A and B are shown apart, each in its own frame.
Chain A
Amino acid sequence: MENQSKTVWSVGATSKIAIEMQRIWASQGYSFILSSRKKTELSDIKKDLLVRGAPKVDTYSLEELTKEKPPLKMDILLIALGSLSDQKTWESSKEYRENQWATNTTLVMDWIEWGAKVIEDTGRGKICVMTSVAADRAKKSNYGYGAAKAALDFHLQGVAHRLAALGPRVFILKPGPTKTPMTAQLDQTKLADPKKVARSFTSAIKKDKTITYAPWIWKYIMLIIKLIPQKIWFKTSF
């Protein structure tokens, strides 16, 4: 049993933080099922994980994998799907809101539900979802993105309750602003190192820590932010 490699199902495997988490797991001998919008985007990532020690890496487009799931064990389900919504477009376009919600929330919930069923059926597996610190308190600069992620937080807490008898199975991963292609247009000096964020997350999952902020300081930043009275919060220009 020791030699049978564990498998990570990664949905949204091209996310930079997901890439770094996958690399850590590859060096520990995990195999992978990777999926993203375009299958072609996964070929570089596949080669990288194989060099780093993954025994087996299979790639699928999101559409393929959502329809047809290969009968392979799920030890970790990592969901890093999502794009940083443009706030102004969110406010003005119903179609944009619907599209963003579909990829950032609805599709993710579909996968969480699949994961929950697998865990109930097999008694094995962990659901690990990347939400965001943006989901902890709404602010005018990004509440569209925040809402999508906040819905996930709530959903995950419900699933955690549902699976409680089986021990810790649901892991909420909350990155603060991190240096990734998604944040290329933000001020680069204030962004966290994705390798460090990934290390915090993989370590938390291993230790069964069910909610993790990375860098850790964001836990305390958000705690304080959540406590600020509304009158004062509304005066800020975040």
Chain B
Amino acid sequence: MKQMKQGLPSWGFNPKSYGETMPINPKRKELPLKTSISSLPYGLGRSYGDSCLNNQNILCPTEFLDMLIDFDTQTGILKAQAGASLKDILNVIIPKGWFIPVSPGTKYVTLGGAIANDIHGKNHLNAGCFGNHVSEIKITRSTGEKLVCSPTTNSGLFSATVGGLGLTGLMTETTIKLKRIESKNIVANHTPFESLEEFFAINKEKEPTHQYTVAWLNTLSPNGKGIYIAGNHSTDNDLEYDNSLKTKINIPAFAPDFLLNPLSIKIFNEVYYLAQKRKRADFTTPLDSFFYPLDGVNNWNKLYGKRGFFQYQCVLPGTDTNSKQACLEMLKKISLSKQGSFLAILKTFGGIEPKGLLSFPKKGITIALDFPNNGEKTTKLFKSLDAIVREAGGRLYPAKDAHMSPNDFKSFYPQWDKMLEYKDPNISSSFWRRVTED
């Protein structure tokens, strides 16, 4: 086989991937039509595992397909090309008093990526997923055929495209409904907790009165220790916003592998917990600090070194004793393994049904954790966590995944075979081939 060059990476730098990179030409707006080799649209590469990779095939960055098309400042309807980034869009919409209805943890996500992974945010209880706010998607198939889909037109294609990991075709344009805001600032509060029970008690108290809720978890504690973060948009009428200025820190190269190790992570976690613990009362913070703290460190994923890292995100259904028990079991296993990292999130999802066949959230508890790549040790840990998730009736998130088994994928997403009807025959991904054993 011809030796291929290194392809564009995913956020965790695992698995390694090779192949051609062919950016979508902004004048032609189409995928390369090759029958012996597949292509995959690629946004900003923030998926952690292999859902944005296409090993030995072609990746098609959409960075030149980033035009804004129309923005109605009265109704908050935004039409844009799918390669437009949230970072860029926020600069235009916030000063006019609008915000994205669902925000992920980074601005470096394209509209196409937000839809393809049906992303969720800190306001899932009230807002559901990103796909719940999309009113139309224009798609160009690899044959050149142009299609339009929405919840009411070509609804089958729509539900295959939302959460569909880019497999149904090249998204060219999309229309979304934004959310009204009065300020670019967030009024937030932090509440420390030292057990999972405490977390649920605080969650019950905060969720009804706060739009945005999430907890940072100290994974080195087996009981569920962390900081509960809650926030609402301020009403101070300050809509001045410009994120195009330079980020503060840049990690220019891969850090040495030993930088993030059990000891350094332990120290970070303790210091972070003590620092954040103090902010109990309401305080005002800029939007970027609340939603996108890591964006201030360019290439933070290189801190894990060349070995890279994995993210493990699962949802455990419901908040009854079984799921709480499963959650606690997972936290104990992780803390015992001493493999955890400084980035761990705990949150509850609400009951708003997502729109996609492969959408991840369901009502229940979600945990998302980073793990340095420790080879066999990590694989073993993940297998044991998978067993807990499986037994609880939960599932894993394709956008973060690099390891779930085909059997697990098919049982986590029972509607996966409906994708086959809508999947473009000339599009594929490393993830898809892995989980469907294609």
Contacts and interface: CB of A to CB of B under 8 A. Distances in A.
Contacts of B25: 181, 184
A203 to B, nearest CB: 11
B107 to A, nearest CB: 13
A221 B91 CA distance: 34
B173 to A, nearest CB: 10
Interface stretch (A3-11, A43-51, A137-145): A43-51
A109 B162 CA distance: 50
A179 B81 CA distance: 19
Contacts of B23: 181, 184
Contacts of B352: none
A41 B67 contact: no
B67 A47 contact: yes
A130 B305 CA distance: 38
Interface string B102-131: 000000000000000000000000000000
A44 B64 contact: no
A157 interface: no
A212 interface: no
Interface string A173-194: 0000001110010001000000
B267 interface: no
B380 interface: no
A175 B145 CA distance: 37
Nearest to B66: A48
B63 interface: yes
A209 B71 CA distance: 35
Interface in B44-88: 63-64, 67-71, 81
Interface string A189-213: 0000001000100000000000000
Interface in B112-157: none
A14 interface: yes
Given A51-B92, A179-B63, A188-B21, A14 B68 contact: no
B27 interface: yes
Contacts of A195: 244
B94 to A, nearest CB: 12
B26 interface: yes
A47 B64 contact: no
B326 interface: no
Interface in A11-53: 14, 16, 27, 41, 44-45, 47-48, 51-53
A181 B64 contact: yes
B27 to A, nearest CB: 6
B92 A16 contact: no
Interface residues of B, number: 18
B67 A44 contact: yes
B27 A52 contact: no
Interface in B21-49: 21-23, 25-27
Q: Which of B22, B64, B71 has its CB near the most chain A CB atoms (within 10 A)?
A: B64
B345 to A, nearest CB: 29
Contacts of B26: 14, 44, 181
Contacts of A179: 63
A180 B25 CA distance: 10
B372 to A, nearest CB: 24
Contact of B70 (A16, A47, A181): A47
Contacts of A181: 23, 25-27, 64
A47 B71 CA distance: 10
A180 B244 CA distance: 19
A199 B64 CA distance: 17
A110 to B, nearest CB: 24
Contacts of B67: 44-45, 47-48
Contact of A27 (B21, B71, B91): B91
A45 B91 CA distance: 17
Given A179-B63, A184-B23, A44 B91 contact: no
B59 to A, nearest CB: 10
A52 B92 contact: yes
A217 to B, nearest CB: 13
Interface of A: 14, 16, 27, 41, 44-45, 47-48, 51-53, 179-181, 184, 188, 195, 199
6 contacts: A48-B68, A51-B71, A181-B23, A181-B64, A184-B23, A188-B8
Interface of B: 8, 21-23, 25-27, 63-64, 67-71, 81, 91-92, 244
The 3 tightest CB contacts between A and B, nearest first, are A51-B68, A48-B67, A44-B67
Given A48-B68, A51-B69, 20 more contacts: A14-B26, A14-B27, A27-B91, A27-B92, A44-B26, A44-B69, A44-B81, A45-B67, A47-B68, A47-B70, A51-B68, A51-B71, A52-B68, A181-B23, A181-B27, A181-B64, A184-B22, A184-B25, A195-B244, A199-B244
